[in-house]
Amino acid sequence: MISVKHLSKVFNNGEKELTVLRDVNCEIAKGEVIGIIGPSGTGKSTFLRCLNRLEEPSGGQIEINGIDILDRKADVNLLRRKMGMVFQNFNLFHHLTILDNITLCPCTLLGKSRKEAEIRAMELLQLVGLYDKAGSLPSELSGGQKQRAAIARCLAMDPEIILFDEPTSALDPTMVSEVLVVIRRLAREGMTMAIVSHEMQFVRSVSTRIFFMNEGVIYEEGSPEQIFEHPQRPATIAFVNRIRTLEFKLADKHFDLYGMFGEVGIFCNKYGLGNDMLMKVQHVMEETLYGILPFDGAVTLTLDYSEKDFTLRLLFTEDGCTTSVLDRLPGDFLPLKIVQGMCASLRETETGKILVEM
């Protein structure tokens, strides 16, 4: 149904150029529900907006049902009638009632009679659970109700595909689920959809296929199970496990230990690691850096915290280390004993690389 080849998008605001999409390639078939996930600022929304040309692509090719929509002669407005879009900020027409919001375009563009359009609109309002809000103005509705109304407005045009651009990001947490339920229902009825969302559990359960976008490309794609259970590439793994990282590069032994402690304190605080854990981490850092490591070359220290399974790992890497660090130490070496007493495991994964799992 949709085929995208080498799609790119460069934003140009006078002097600065910003490449948002570098090279996006994909196929979307009828009946598929595509979940698009990835870190912020990697072009998920831009990709969606390029599909209905709300953003003008800088290069590449988009074909919909075999028609090249980037062609000069392509009728964009006709294309958009068949592609609904649901926005983060709802964008209901402020001056019209919910009913008029829904009937405006069918009456204007599809040549439906007012009566016909109203009957259909009331069916759709029933579907999204807003039957009694037909006469209200958008400003009288809650966020979740507005978004459901926007979905109904979209459906009134009988689109072949609906693009959801972060439909729940502007919502109060209590209103997220009422919108997701509606989208889920559409998926069950076989509607083709592309959904950009940060609601991982929802995307995982509703999608037939996941695009993981990173740095302007579709970095990894696959079934929800593949992406969420067995991600293959590092950025995907870090994203799916929601790994948070803090890194220090130490040139020599005269580093600022207390400065580091301060930063680690902020890091632990941010991800809800308690004071006990902070004390332990600081001890492990001090003993390892001053006691265990020979510290002949520069050392890199990385803290990885997974928000998914709540594990914290410290990785110490010493550059230019040729002999094993742990092997040259006696088994009852005191700093080693202290660290081992505080962590779950301590291993030397490669020569000069010590992994401490807390």
Partner 1 sequence: MRAIWAYLILSLVLSACSGAGAESEAEFAPTCIEDLSGHSVALPGGSSTDLLVSSYPGIDIMRVSLGDIPIAVKSGRADFGLLQEVQFDANQMARQGFKKYFAGILRGSGAIAFRKDDVALCDEFNHFLRAMKASGEYDRWYNCWLHNLDSMTVEAGKRPAPQEGKKLIVGITLAHPYIFLQQDAITGIEPDLMNLFCRSAGYSPEYVIIQFPALIPSLNANKIDLILSHLLVTPERAKQVLFSDEYMEGGLCCFGVDPQWGASGGQGIWTRTKENIRHNLIEEDRWKLLGNGLIVTLELSLLSLLVAILLGILLCYLRMRPNAVISGTTRVFVDVVRGIPVLVILMIMFYVIFAKVNMSGVAVSIFGFGLFFGACFSEVFRSGMMSVDNGQWEAGAALGLNKMQTFRLVAFPQVLRRIIPVFKGEVIALIKSTSIVGYVAVLDLTCVGDIIRTRTLDAFFPLILVSIIYIILSRLSGGLLDALDRKLNASK
Q: Which residues bind partner 1 (CB under 8 A)?
A: 52, 54, 77-78, 80-81, 83-85, 87, 89, 91-97, 104-105, 108-109, 137, 153-154, 157
Provide, rounded to whole angstroms, the least separation between the CB of residue 57 and partner 1: 16
Are the CB atoms for 298 and 331 separated by under 8 Å?
A: no
What residues contact residue 337 under an 8 Å CB cut-off, 6+ apart? Answer: none
Q: Between 89 and 351, whose beta carbon lies closer to partner 1?
A: 89
Q: Between 19 and 97, whose beta carbon lies closer to partner 1?
A: 97
Provide, rounded to whole angstroms, the least separation between the CB of residue 40 and partner 1: 20
Task: Return the amino acid letter for 108.
Answer: T
Q: Between 18 and 109, whose beta carbon lies closer to partner 1?
A: 109
* Displacement of CA 16 from its chain's centroid (Å): 26
Provide, rounded to whole angstroms, the least separation between the CB of residue 90 and partner 1: 8
Are the CB atoms for 192 and 31 separated by under 8 Å?
A: yes
* d(C-alpha 246, C-alpha 317), whole Å: 14
Provide, rounded to whole angstroms, the least separation between the CB of residue 79 and partner 1: 8
DSSP string covering 274-289: -HHHHHHHHHHHHHII
Q: Between 54 and 342, whose beta carbon lies closer to partner 1?
A: 54
Cα separation of the two ends of the chain: 49
What token pair was written down for 266?
Answer: 């902020």
Provide, rounded to whole angstroms, the least separation between the CB of residue 150 and partner 1: 8
Q: Between 105 and 315, whose beta carbon lies closer to partner 1?
A: 105
- Could you tell me how many residues make up the chain? 358
Provide, rounded to whole angstroms, the least separation between the CB of residue 94 and partner 1: 6
β 161-165/192-196 pair status = parallel
Are the CB atoms for 355 and 346 separated by under 8 Å?
A: yes
Q: Between 9 and 209, whose beta carbon lies closer to partner 1?
A: 9
